[in-house]
Structures are given as C-alpha cells and as structure tokens.
Amino acid sequence: MQREAQALVDEWAQTFNAGRVADLARFYTADARIVPPGRSTLVGAEAICMFFADIRAQGFRDYAVEVGDVFAKDASLVVSGRWELRGPDAGGLQLYKGNWMNLLAHGSTGRLIAVHMWN
C-alpha cells in the first residue's frame, strides 16, 4: 500500500512540477474535493485544475511529497505525510512545508484521489 501511494503522489508531483496542470484531472475522481487551507472546498476536476493552475501562475514550483502513513478504510486508502514547495516571498523564493492527507478511492485506472487536503 505504501509503495502504491508513494508512486501515485510522486507522479502527481512530477505532473505539477512539469506545469501540466490540466493533466492533474486524471488523478482525481469525478466528484473529488480539495480542501486548501483557509479557503472553501473545491469540487470537480475543472475547479481543481484551475486552482493548481493559479498556484503555478503565482510562481510556486518544486513540489515534493513523502508518504508517512497509509491505512485501509473500507474500500479506500487514507494516505498522509509531509509536503514541501518553493514559492515567492518578499525576499525571493521560500520553502514552504506542511502536512497533507489524501483519501484514495478505486477508479477504472487504479487508485484516484477523492479528497485532497493540506495545511
């Protein structure tokens, strides 16, 4: 489970870092939600891709994630860990870090993100 989850989030990070934000939709269920810190929940692939396109446009790059814990809950996997990302700051680029959690559901192509949240 841990390797499967790490492979999925690594591929997500590579897609984001390559600037292919429209391609991020393939990682999410049709009714997926993201819960960005301090913002309203966004629902659906189009809203999710627009959110991450805006993050890229603001200059955020070099996203990396590390899976710390994975456990099965019913037919889903709950995956959590640490993230880091470089982004603009008044003095140039800053390294931001935090915790994240994904709820992975079964999809036609394997596991897909149903809920994605971070701080």
Residue 53 structural domain: 2-118
Query: What pLDDT band is residue 107 in, cutting at 50, 70 and 90?
Result: confident
Average the pLDDT over 35-64 and give the result.
96
Res 109: pLDDT: 81
Which of the two residues, 92 and 34, has the higher pLDDT score?
A: 34
**51-62 residue pLDDT tens:** 999 999 999 999
Q: How far apart are CA 6 and CA 70, in angstroms?
A: 10
**CATH code at 17?**
3.10.450.50
| Residue recorded with tokens 């959590």 | 80
Average the pLDDT over 20-42 and give the result.
96
- Our count of domains for the chain comes to 1
Res 76: pLDDT: 95
The DSSP output letter for 119 is -
Q: Per-residue pLDDT for 1 more than 90?
A: no
Res 33: pLDDT: 98
The DSSP output letter for 17 is H
Helical segments of 1-119, H only: 2-17, 45-57
Q: How far apart are CA 26 and CA 83, in angstroms?
A: 20
Res 111: pLDDT: 94
Q: How far apart are CA 52 and CA 25, in angstroms?
A: 10
Strand partners, 103: 78, 115
